[in-house]
């Protein structure tokens, strides 16, 4: 029996993405790695699960020290299927990413990368989602790696508070090392959407989602602030959505 | 110009579902209603949005006092598209549901119904998701309606705390009126999954998600407790996922 930690790696860009390849290489230094990742891009899937359809699972590479599977479902499906049917024991750590694109501030809620980490937390497993604020397929992940390793080591040694996971975002690489890590809160930003209306060859309209992030939250303890200052942002993230501060005020409704 | 409130109604079971028909009828008593709902079931879609594909919008019924559209996207897409491209002003209220099936405790995070309400809160609009703990197509919604109307009136008159929406769940109807409403917190329950492995006609495996809700949280202030006691549960629900209590403990990672 191996005494090395068992690490499950997933993402939402699909198992062939450069981001997950970098994350797998980092994870292998710290434990036995099993990869269960989507077989195609699943960005923006949030905490979606596959209820009304079936899932497929394809073995990509299976040997004594390393196993990898591509799954037809969402990132959350990958975590659930790995834990329920693939892994022989609960993993010691779940890593998701490294996402090609930001998952800071409100984007956490739309993010398949982060939803995989949140699902890990729900299942009681220390979990971390990593994202680089660079959508390019050829994004440079090299500056992320020392910090990825630092976070992996910290979480393996200290665990995480019950009911939480970590949302780690890296600024777009500017040719020099990041300044360091900042523990932050989620900025109160919001996406301002426009749907681009076009017409198909038959003259019928269709819509493309476009938009930009509007951040009126200028305090210096947010993830957006840290990222703009070239720090790595780390936000402890929870799945208990209860707004406890609002309970008392609603009592007249009883 | 109408002075009646503008109410956007959506759901995740699709615009033909009995639950949304009941909700539309209740909403019409309190304002001008516009429906933008999925054109097919979107259960379990969580906070998914459509990024890499286009959306279609079909006018179902459009006249001077009532408009209804079926959208090819997720519940969150419906809310975004309604606000960005269909409504001439921000709605005063967003209602989602009534869902055919429970969205209490941890199910809130997988729920398309509730994600539509959370999206409303993100956009600064008082929003409520309603769900009946009965998956049947022919579920009996009649006992829900007085409480639906009570919640609509309360929210139109008092608004909701910034950054929050309401998660309202009704017990399965037992032939008598519900006992009343309880303001609750989300129970710390978890889905225990099994994936049923089957084989297609070519001998290749595929998987169906199955599972049951395990609730070790036996306190009397949870939504699960209220529902089991035949009360309507109301949980104030927020989209700030920051685990503030965990920030200090993570500082050594900086």
Report ipTM for this prediction: 0.93
User: Which stretch of DSSP H or E encloses residue A123?
Assistant: none
**pLDDT for the residue B62:** 81
Provide the chain A residues 174-193 that lie in CB contact (below 8 A) with chain B.
180-186, 188, 190, 193
Residue environment code for B195-210, b if the CB has 16+ CB neighbours within 10 A, otherwise e: beeeeeeeeeebbebe
**pLDDT for the residue A79:** 97
Residues ≥6 apart with Cβ < 8 Å to B166 = A250, B117, B127, B128, B129, B151, B155, B160, B234, B235, B236, B237
**pLDDT for the residue A2:** 54
The shortest C-alpha distance from A32 to chain B (Å) reads: 24
What are the two backbone dihedrals, phi and then psi, of residue A24, each rounded to the nearest 5 degrees? -60, -45
Provide the chain A residues 22-81 that lie in CB contact (below 8 A) with chain B.
41, 43-52, 54-57, 74, 76-77, 80-81
CB contact under 8 A, A51 and B43: yes
The shortest C-alpha distance from A65 to chain B (Å) reads: 24
* CATH code reported for the domain at A6-187+220-239: 3.40.1210.10
Separation between Cα atoms, residue A57 and residue A36, nearest integer Å: 9
Picking from A130, A200, A241, A247 by the largest number of B CB atoms within 10 A of its own CB, the best residue to mutate is A241
**pLDDT for the residue A61:** 83
**pLDDT for the residue B66:** 84
Cβ pairs bridging A and B (under 8 Å): 236
What are the two backbone dihedrals, phi and then psi, of residue A72, each rounded to the nearest 5 degrees? -75, -5
Counting Cβ atoms within 10 Å, is residue A205 exposed (0-12), middle (13-18) or buried (19+)? middle
Kindly report, residue by residue over B162-215, the tens digit of the pLDDT: 999 999 999 999 999 999 999 999 999 999 998 999 999 999 999 999 999 999
Counting residues of chain B whose pLDDT is more than 90, the rounded percentage is: 91
Give domain limits for chain B: 6-187+220-253
B166 and B155 Cβ atoms separated by less than 8 Å: yes
Separation between Cα atoms, residue A103 and residue A100, nearest integer Å: 9
CA neighbor of B223 nearest in space, from B146, B167, B180: B167
- Decide if A235 touches B, using CB distance below 8 A: yes
User: Is residue B2 very low, low, confident or very high in pLDDT (cuts 50, 70, 90)?
Assistant: low
Chain A residues in contact with B233 by the CB 8 A cut-off are: none
Kindly report, residue by residue over B50-77, the tens digit of the pLDDT: 998 999 999 998 877 789 999 999 999 9
Which among A52, A55, A110 is the nearest to B49, CB-wise? A110
8-state DSSP, A87 = -
CB contact under 8 A, A84 and B122: no
Mean pLDDT, chain B, integer:
95
Provide the chain B residues 74-113 that lie in CB contact (below 8 A) with chain A.
74, 76-77, 80-81, 83-85, 106, 108-110
User: Is residue B220 very low, low, confident or very high in pLDDT (cuts 50, 70, 90)?
Assistant: very high
CA-nearest residue of chain B to A55?
B207
**pLDDT for the residue B110:** 95
* CATH code reported for the domain at B6-187+220-253: 3.40.1210.10
3-state secondary structure chain B: CCCCCEEEEECCCCCCCHHHHHHHHHHHCCCEEEEEEECCCCCCCCCCCCCCCCECEEEEEECCCCEEEEECCCHHHHHHHHHHHHCCCCCCEEEEEEEECCCCHHHHHCCHHHHHHHHHHHCCCCEEEEEECCCCCCCCCCCCHHHHHHHHHHHHHHCCCCCEEEEEEECCCCCCCCCCEEECECCCCEEEEEEEEEECCCCCEEEEEEEEEECCCCCCCEHHHHHHCCCEEEEEEECCCECHHHCHHHHHHC
Give the pairing type, strands A67-71 and A57-62: antiparallel
What are the two backbone dihedrals, phi and then psi, of residue A222, each rounded to the nearest 5 degrees? -95, 165
CA-nearest residue of chain A to B186?
A242
Chain B residues in contact with A83 by the CB 8 A cut-off are: 193
What are the two backbone dihedrals, phi and then psi, of residue A180, each rounded to the nearest 5 degrees? 150, -165
pTM of structure? 0.95
CB contact under 8 A, A44 and B52: yes
Q: How many CB atoms lie within 10 A of CB A76?
A: 29
**pLDDT for the residue B1:** 46
Separation between Cα atoms, residue A28 and residue B145, nearest integer Å: 56
Higher-confidence residue: B32 or A1? B32
Which among A84, A207, A244 is the nearest to B57, CB-wise? A207
Which among A77, A166, A250 is the nearest to B234, CB-wise? A250
**pLDDT over 90 at B250, yes or no:** yes
> What are the average pLDDT values for consecutive 10-residue runs of chain A, which has 254 residues?
86 96 97 96 90 93 85 96 95 98 96 97 98 94 98 98 98 97 97 94 94 95 98 98 97 96
């Amino acid at each position: 029996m191996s005494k090395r930690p068992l690490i499950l790696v997933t993402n939402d860009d699909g198992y062939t993405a450069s981001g997950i390849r970098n994350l797998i290489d980092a994870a292998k230094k710290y434990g036995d790695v099993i990869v269960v990742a989507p077989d195609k891009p699943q960005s923006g899937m949030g905490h979606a699960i596959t209820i009304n359809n079936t899932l497929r699972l394809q073995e990509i590479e299976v040997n004594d020290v390393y196993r990898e599977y591509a799954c037809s479902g969402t990132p959350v499906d990958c975590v659930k299927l790995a834990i329920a049917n693939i892994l022989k024991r609960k993993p010691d750590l779940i890593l998701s990413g490294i996402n090609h694109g930001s998952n800071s501030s409100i984007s956490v809620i739309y993010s398949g990368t982060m939803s995989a980490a949140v699902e890990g937390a729900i299942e009681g497993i220390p979990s971390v989602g990593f994202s680089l604020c660079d959508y390019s397929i050829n994004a440079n992940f090299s500056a992320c790696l020392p910090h990825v390793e630092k976070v992996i080591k910290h979480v393996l040694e200290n665990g995480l508070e019950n009911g939480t996971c970590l949302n780690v975002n890296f600024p777009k690489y500017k040719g020099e090392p990041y300044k360091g890590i900042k523990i932050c809160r989620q900025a109160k930003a919001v996406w301002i959407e426009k749907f681009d209306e076009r017409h198909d060859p038959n003259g019928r309209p269709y819509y493309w989602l476009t938009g930009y992030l509007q951040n009126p939250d200028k305090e210096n303890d947010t993830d957006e602030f840290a990222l703009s200052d070239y720090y790595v942002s780390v936000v402890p993230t929870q799945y208990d959505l209860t707004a406890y501060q609002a309970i008392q005020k609603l009592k007249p409704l009883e």
